Amino acid sequence: MDVKRQRRAPILEALEEYKEMRIVPFDVPGHKRGKGNRELTEFLGEKCLTIDVNSMKPLDNLCHPISVIKEAEALAADAFGAKHAFLMVGGTTSAVQSMIMVACKRGDKIIMPRNVHKSAINALVVCGAVPVYVNPGINKEVGIPLGMSYEDVKKAILENPDAKAVMVNNPTYYGICSPLKAITELAHEHGMLVLADEAHGTHFYFNDNLPASAMSVGADMASVSMHKTGGSLTQSSLLLINNDVSKGYVRQIINLTQTTSASYLLMSSLDISRRNLALHGKEIFDNVIRMVEYARDEINKIGGYYAFGRELINGDTVFDFDVTKLSVHTREVGLAGIEVYDLLRDEYGIQIEFGDIGNILAIVSVGDNLLAIDRLVSSISEIKRLYAKEDITMMLDHEYIDPEVVMTPQDAFYAPKTSVPIKESCGAVSSEFVMCYPPGIPILAPGERITQDILDYIEYAKDKGCSLTGTQDIDIKNINIVTQL
């Protein structure tokens, strides 16, 4: 990485120069630098509205960058150790879908863990690729899906030698990492691309005490959520490419779905945040690691909770663990994770990332401090004191259910369908998703058989207050099922 070059922020610099030019706007957006919407200007600030501008010659164009955006992308590639980086303004959802659509066409196979984010399966609905799911390992103690076993990936590759790519979560929502380097080498031996969903792995690129990044082990593409742990604005992301992946073709695929009106607020936030991480990332994440390790130790002293960490590493399905993830198992205090999540928000004014059936996750990153960590730990302790339940026999004893895949996601999504009460759907094939969001990992995806275990899980999640999404019926009382297999 060229540290001297990384001090540049070309999009920011171009916007500052543009503001000094005092150009009279007769283009979009219609608020005309905030003058046409005073209420919005007062809420967001004049400084913000004056840089909410349209693509133009001095500011370049994200669809076909030739100047400042091109330079910003080159700097991002240098910072992340990639052949090229694309600024993404549709979130990591857009980046994940773009890399799948680069690797696969209709009918092509892609090997992926079943606990992928819904954006990956949505990409299959759009492009018609065929998933070969590798079921992740399971940790029954904390009830979470783990990473993919090397042997399971090898088996999938040998049984599907025509697959075009292997997709890997690096890490999962809970901080679990698969053996990415070994999987990458294996996939390449068989002529397959390796795609990494690094929505929660931005920080891997800037600290040697964290798991290996996708680019460092030779993966071909990676989608990176700069806004999650890197400090940029929500919805801003990066798509990284490596090896012989065609930069021009990737740009074409991105432009199929990405807006032609890219936000300069988002792009400048990527530019500024990349510079900050490139210059100060190591010390930033050294501090984050210290804070989370402190929180993990303090929470484990409370009793009843289990803030898990590197002790889960087994060299395979948990090849490594992201120690910046503050994942806490809650069932031993008789509370579902979603119940602790709700209590933290409603009673203590603390918003964590998510709570599921058995765990909570707090994201700690560039903007946190020890005072906030202490408040979180003390609130978790008080929740145990005030709300713990002795009877935990009714707690559901699993978090991940192996799916029975009957049809491809695209075929099921577009198949003739009918809506039935979800309680009466056992045995049918789903035409849509059901998921808790966050984290957005489907309980049920299009093309999968609906089983009683799945229905029990959905009902339990509803009872505990999980936010369920995915079906046409917003109340999740009915579900679309395939009527012609």
How large a percentage of the chain has pLDDT more than 70?
Answer: 98
Instruction: Identify whether residues 297 and 251 lie together within a single domain.
Output: no
pLDDT (0 to 100) of residue 461: 81
Instruction: Identify whether residues 166 and 253 lie together within a single domain.
Output: yes
Answer whether residue 162 is part of any domain.
yes
* Domain at 436, CATH number: 3.90.105.10
Average pLDDT score over the chain: 94
Range of the domain at 428: 409-482
Answer whether residue 394 is part of any domain.
no
Q: Left if phi > 0, otherwise alpha if psi is -120 to 50, otherwise beta: which for 128?
A: left
Instruction: Identify whether residues 322 and 425 lie together within a single domain.
Output: no
pLDDT (0 to 100) of residue 323: 97
Strand 354-355 to 359-363 pairing: antiparallel
Instruction: Identify whether residues 226 and 169 lie together within a single domain.
Output: yes
How large a percentage of the chain has pLDDT more than 90?
Answer: 82
Answer whether residue 347 is part of any domain.
yes
* pLDDT, tens digit (0-9, with 9 covering 90-100), for 362-399: 999 989 999 999 999 999 999 999 999 875 544 455 55
Instruction: Identify whether residues 309 and 379 lie together within a single domain.
Output: yes
Answer whether residue 43 is part of any domain.
no
Instruction: Identify whether residues 178 and 312 lie together within a single domain.
Output: no
Instruction: Identify whether residues 67 and 112 lie together within a single domain.
Output: yes
* pLDDT, tens digit (0-9, with 9 covering 90-100), for 114-170: 899 999 999 999 999 999 999 998 898 888 889 999 999 999 999 999 999 999 999
- pLDDT band, very low/low/confident/very high, at 485 (cuts 50, 70, 90): confident
Instruction: Identify whether residues 183 and 308 lie together within a single domain.
Output: no
Name the domain boundary from 243, 278, 313: 278
How many domains are contained in the chain? 3
| Residue 465, pLDDT above cutoff 80 | no
Instruction: Identify whether residues 264 and 285 lie together within a single domain.
Output: no
pLDDT (0 to 100) of residue 313: 97
Q: How far apart are CA 439 and CA 368, in angstroms?
A: 21
Instruction: Identify whether residues 238 and 288 lie together within a single domain.
Output: no
Which has the higher per-residue pLDDT, 54 or 319? 319
Name the domain boundary from 387, 420, 445: 387
Answer whether residue 45 is part of any domain.
no
Q: Would you tell me how many other CB atoms lie within 10 Å of the CB of residue 61?
A: 16
User: Could you tell me which residues come within 8 angstroms of residue 466 by beta carbon, excluding any fewer than 6 positions away?
Assistant: 338, 355, 356, 357, 436
pTM of the model: 0.94
Name the domain boundary from 278, 307, 340: 278
* pLDDT, tens digit (0-9, with 9 covering 90-100), for 264-293: 999 999 999 999 999 999 999 999 999 999
* Domain at 171, CATH number: 3.40.640.10
Instruction: Identify whether residues 356 and 274 lie together within a single domain.
Output: no
Answer whether residue 61 is part of any domain.
yes
Instruction: Identify whether residues 141 and 122 lie together within a single domain.
Output: yes
* pLDDT, tens digit (0-9, with 9 covering 90-100), for 65-94: 999 999 999 999 999 999 999 999 999 999
